[in-house]
Amino acid sequence: MFEFARYYGRRRVKGTAVMTAGFAVLVALYVWMFPSISEGIDLDAYVASLPPALQQAFGLQSLNTIEGFLAAELYAFGWVLLLGIYFAYAAASLVADDVDRGRMDMLLSLPVTRSKVLLEKFASILVPLVVVNVVTPVVVYLAVLGIDESIAIADLAMVHALAVPYLLVAAGVGLLASVVFDRASVAQRVAAGGFFGFFLLDSVTAGTDVAWLGTLSPSRYYDPTAVLVSSEWDLQGAGVLLAAAVVLVLASRAYFQRKDVA
């Protein structure tokens, strides 16, 4: 049981370790830089001079505090944008890569259902998703203590917990592209570009008469700045993201079950 999930999950361990280590180094760098950057400089005054759309896009608020600095420099960019694109890109190869290389026929010749193959391949994405969101907050907390600052443990834990449904939506976008397109390179470009397009949609429409268009973007429902700076936990938004992830996976499953992979 769960043979495919275990097999593909194990194949992601090395990449997950490298990615998590990279974010740990990035965290240490940002935290180490904070005292020298914030000392004697009114970063909030600088933020106030920026266009509102830019402030909204990258969560620029209260940069003179470690919470606001990390929210803008690490989470609004690293989690909302980079990790979102990464998981969309990674999930886009789950099915398309095997179809592209002619391996899917052999895989489906086994006594397994298409649904099992698809869902367990998608489950393997949980390996990097869970690891990076478990290890990073520990690194953040220890690094912040190392510069004699403090950060609320509950808010730090919640910013990563709420990132899970957001990143699942990103992976869901990639999965849908993976079953629609037979070439892995095309699926990856469409998924990554599409997810980045959602981010831009939310950013450029914020504060305009068409701000409602931003409700189509997953980033509208995950705001790390609100969590870390204001202790506002958008559980309703997390529910919307979980529902969207389920819809994307079910839509991918329905399409794949009817798809000709010959």
CB 127 within 8 A of CB 5: no
Q: What is the pLDDT of residue 134?
A: 96
More confident residue, 76 or 207: 76
| pLDDT class of 228 with cuts at 50, 70, 90 | very high
What is the C-alpha to C-alpha distance for residues 31 and 190, in angstroms, rounded to an integer? Answer: 34
pLDDT of res. 37: 74
Q: Domain containing 105: what range?
A: 3-258
- Whole-angstrom Cα distance, residue 250 to residue 122? 11
Q: Does the structure show a pLDDT above 60 at 212?
A: yes
Predicted local confidence at residue 5, as pLDDT: 86
What Rg value do the Cα atoms of the chain yield, rounded? 20
Q: Residue 177: what pLDDT?
A: 96
Please provide the average confidence, as pLDDT, over all residues in the chain: 87
pLDDT, position 160: 96
Q: How many angstroms separate the CA atoms of 220 and 222, rounded?
A: 6
Q: Provide the token pair at 86.
A: 């990464």
What pLDDT shows up at residue 47? 55
Q: Give the residue from 54, 23, 39 showing the smallest Cα distance to 135.
A: 23
pLDDT at 244: 97
Q: Is the pLDDT of residue 231 over 70?
A: yes
Q: What pLDDT is stored for residue 168 in this prediction?
A: 97
pLDDT (average), residues 221-232: 90
Chain-centre distance for alpha carbon 75: 10
> Can you give the pTM of this predicted structure?
0.90
CA-CA distance, 227 to 19, in Å (whole number)? 24
Kindly list the distances between the CA atom of residue 68 and the CA atoms of 52, 127, 156, in Å, as whole numbers in the listed order: 16, 29, 12
User: E strand or H helix at 96, and its extent?
Assistant: helix 96-100
Query: What is the mean predicted confidence (pLDDT) over 102-115?
Result: 84
Looking at the structure of the chain, the number of domains it has is 1
Is the predicted pLDDT of residue 209 greater than 60, yes or no?
Answer: yes
The tokens of 241 are what?
A: 């993201």
> Across 37-51, 126-140, 223-237, which has the greatest mean pLDDT?
126-140
Report phi then psi at 150, rounded to 5: -140, 155
CB atoms within 10 A of CB 130: 14
Average pLDDT rounded to a whole number, residues 103-119? 86
How are the residues of the chain apportioned to helix, strand and coil, as percentages rounded to the nearest 5? 80, 0, 20
pLDDT tens, 19-70? 999 999 999 998 988 887 766 565 555 555 555 555 555 555 666 788 888 9
